[in-house]
Chain A
Amino acid sequence: MTEIADILISASFWAAILRIASPLIFATMGELICERAGVLNLGIEGIMVFGAFAGWMAVYAGLPLWGGVAVAMLGGMAFGALHGLLTVPFGLSQHVVGLGITMLATAAAYYAYRLALPQVTNPPRITPFQPLHIPVLSNLPWLGQALFSQTALTWAGFAAAGATALVLFRTPLGLAVRAAGENPQAVEAQGLSVTAIRMGAVIVGSGLMAVGGAFLTMSAFSSFFFEMVNGRGWICIALVVFGAWKPGKALLGALLFAGFDALQIRLQQTGLGQVVPYQVFLMIPYLLSILALIAMSRRAEVPAALMTPFNRGDR
């Protein structure tokens, strides 16, 4: 047990939590916005892959880092627009469209990678975001290293979560988004366009997902690998449920999952890791997440119109 205690007091463990959580926070907020408007976006996994590729490729091609983030976001928004077009005005099955977008976006990223770098066996590296030095805070003993040695993109993730909460709950736009996910007839009867609101939510949400993917290549690692998103998108779908469709709770869920993940990586290197196969450690975050999901989501209120297409003039 002392080994776990050692891990918990090490500053690098806490820094890892924030780092691991960052892509999840972006993508979870993106998914949450979509679902609050009534659209389940299963394109998340593929959009994250595309964001990871597009951001990295743009920087490799010479754009500044933030330019890469913008390219990733625009790419995600384009896939979001396609997803929205098929699910909102056309009212197609959100499951089928979402999975289709995931396959399309993933394949598009891999294809573009091969087109751009046909001969390469080892993907080239870029200079990623560096930890942002915050005056005073970053110099604090232990805390500085544990909490305040993150890149600007991590802080942008937290800002995105805050902005999501503010917009959803403090502005007329957020009110319309939440109403569209609960009862689109209410939105229509108040003279707003359900189609426009849902399309907008899916596009913006998909943009955030892509930035979450871009975090992997532009902040966490400095290169693009196949399979690097590795199911993070699906985790974010669960985090939205875990967070009961509330940004604050979903943010906590992302940090919790990241905590389990950071812990299992470190546990593998302890004495325990000599005895227990490493695959068992890899399971820990998922097992604990499932347990937490069961405990947390039983009383959650699902947006009532989630996955229900809205057709004007339908009775």
Chain B
Amino acid sequence: MPPETTAQGPVLRLSGITKRFGQLTANDGISLSLARGEVVALLGENGAGKTTLMNILFGHYTADAGTVEVMGQTLPPGQPGAALNAGVGMVHQHFTLADNLTVLDNVLLGTRPLLSLSPGRGAARRKLAQLAQDFGLAVDPDARIAALSVGERQRVEILKALFRDARILILDEPTAVLTPQEADALFDTLRRMLAQGLSVIFISHKLHEVMAISSRVLVLRHGKLVGETATDATDRHQLATMMVGAEITAPAPAEARPGETLLKLDNVSTARQGNRPGLQDVALDLRAGQILGLAGVSGNGQGALADLLSGLESPTQGTLTLADKRPDAWSPRTAVALGIGRIPEDRHKTGTIADFTLTENTVLENYATTARGGWMNWRAARTATDAIIDKYDVRCPGPDTRIRLLSGGNMQKLILGRVLEAAPRIILANQPVRGLDIGAVTYVQEQLIAARDAGAAVLLISEDLDEILTLSDSIRVISEGRLSPEFPRGTKTPTELGQWMAGQGFDHAA
């Protein structure tokens, strides 16, 4: 269907954009247009090509084919400066701010001729204050970026675009890093911008946000534009199906058949680290064939428990028993050797090494055991990686790609494959679906259920109560380093769990 246009025609028109990275076609002949005062949502799974398309529009990448027109003028390819001057602003998913500079200097960067003698801070300060007021974007102009919260940094990114009088704003997964309250404030800002005639391209894979803010939805899949619809004329289920290309059904695990206890904590405490509470006198049983969900507000000791089970931290008190034995020396190597599979909370920091290839990342945990006579067995490593890429549907140019080039979902699939292919007896899944799109979420969750059915003990740590309730055979709540009793599936309502999460009930339970 043709997009709505004003009398002047669309403010933005992309025609036939194609971009290849090696073997991978990230964008395949994509065309779209944007009208004044319109929010178009660009929906798609990780790796569908949304960010690549926007990077071409903004001039970070040069397309292999296709043109970008803003207000009827064709933009020269590969020049962010030209896009900025034409009134395009982009809020990158990974913020492009210099941490050692102030808010004001980040906004000013590149806005004045380099050889002029004055940075023009006075006038900029006034304009910034005006914008902050108009759009509800309060930030201290003299604060250094390093001192700002994630939400504040995003406001600076938006201010950077508005300061340059952007008419078209691209927001790349803006809510991925925000709390619900911050996301609401962002939507409020967006509505004010629309009222002033700005146009917005909103990249997301969160369906409820797309439904709430957009007037039109474009769906990308595997680099192709596969659907376009007015937001009024669709619903979340239909969008999800378009995005994934198949009907999505939430995983519904069958009845669990818990077996023997594989890992046992008795009266375990761990040290406090900075602001992070340690565990306090915790008892825990992880049983074969069962998913134990650990609910709780972020920062209540989940990290300490995860580090303990990963082997990164040792108990200061109490005992840890694995398969009826107490390991002598507790270290990450012991944990892996004794069959603990670890899906870490932060796949960038602790899950992978960004500049290593997929193959290298795959063998990070078992390079010593797969080596032959002290030499790396790269052939076996590559074969194993190829197998994981196939089996877990990791979208990538190949096993020799640096893993930083993968989207979050594909990175997580590789980590999942690395863990599951080692056939662990115990799986520590710490926020395994954070930041993933629906397709990847469902996939990861189904794999965890399959591992459970195969007899593994799964500890699922999540801040998402819905996820905990869907997947867990049994639930415990963590609060200030203490654990609640075990609640079997279906015995507690979300409200009741919420009270435990807020710390109620622990006194008489202890």
Contact = CB atoms under 8 A, between A and B. Distances in A.
Is this pair of chains taken from one and the same complex? Answer: yes
Contacts of B79: 191
Contacts of A141: none
A185 B114 CA distance: 18
Given A185-B96, A186-B106, A191-B80, A176 B114 contact: yes
Nearest to B91: A189
A312 interface: yes
| A contact residues, range | 20 to 34
A182 B111 contact: no
A179 interface: yes
B61 interface: yes
Contacts of A170: 117-119
Given A183-B96, A190-B84, A171 B119 contact: yes
B101 interface: yes
A173 B114 CA distance: 5
Contacts of A183: 96-99
A178 B100 contact: yes
A179 B110 CA distance: 10
Contacts of B99: 182-183, 304
A172 B96 contact: no
Contact of B97 (A173, A175, A186, A301): A186
A232 B124 CA distance: 43
Contacts of A315: 404-405
Interface in B54-97: 58, 60-62, 78-85, 90, 92, 94, 96-97
Contact of B116 (A171, A187, A313): A171
Interface class of chain B by DSSP:
loop
Contacts of B78: 312
A301 B101 CA distance: 12
Contact of B109 (A175, A301, A304): A175
B222 interface: no
A192 interface: yes
B115 interface: yes
A188 B119 contact: no
A303 interface: yes
Given A179-B98, A183-B99, A172 B61 contact: no
A30 B114 CA distance: 19
A171 B121 CA distance: 10
A312 B62 CA distance: 10
Given A188-B60, A191-B85, A171 B110 contact: no
B100 A187 contact: no
B87 to A, nearest CB: 12
A285 to B, nearest CB: 31
B27 to A, nearest CB: 13
Nearest to B107: A190
B98 A172 contact: no
B114 A182 contact: no
Interface in B28-42: none
B82 to A, nearest CB: 8
Contacts of B112: 172
Given A170-B119, A171-B117, A172-B113, A313 B98 contact: no
Interface string A186-208: 11111110000000000000000
B117 A191 contact: no
Interface string B129-155: 000000000000000000000000000
B453 interface: no
Nearest to A183: B98
A313 B82 CA distance: 16
A313 B61 contact: yes
B109 A187 contact: yes
B119 A179 contact: no
Contact of A182 (B61, B85, B100): B100
B105 interface: yes
Contacts of A186: 96-98, 106, 109
Interface string B191-228: 00000000000000000000000000000000000000
A188 B80 contact: yes
A302 to B, nearest CB: 10
Nearest to B405: A315
Contacts of A191: 79-85, 110
A189 B80 contact: yes
B23 to A, nearest CB: 16
11 contacts: A171-B116, A172-B109, A172-B110, A172-B119, A175-B101, A175-B105, A182-B100, A183-B99, A185-B96, A312-B78, A315-B405
Interface of A: 170-173, 175-176, 178-179, 182-183, 185-192, 301, 303-304, 312-313, 315
Given A170-B119, A171-B114, A175-B109, 16 more contacts: A171-B117, A172-B108, A172-B114, A172-B116, A176-B110, A179-B101, A182-B99, A182-B100, A183-B98, A185-B94, A190-B96, A191-B85, A312-B60, A313-B60, A313-B61, A315-B405
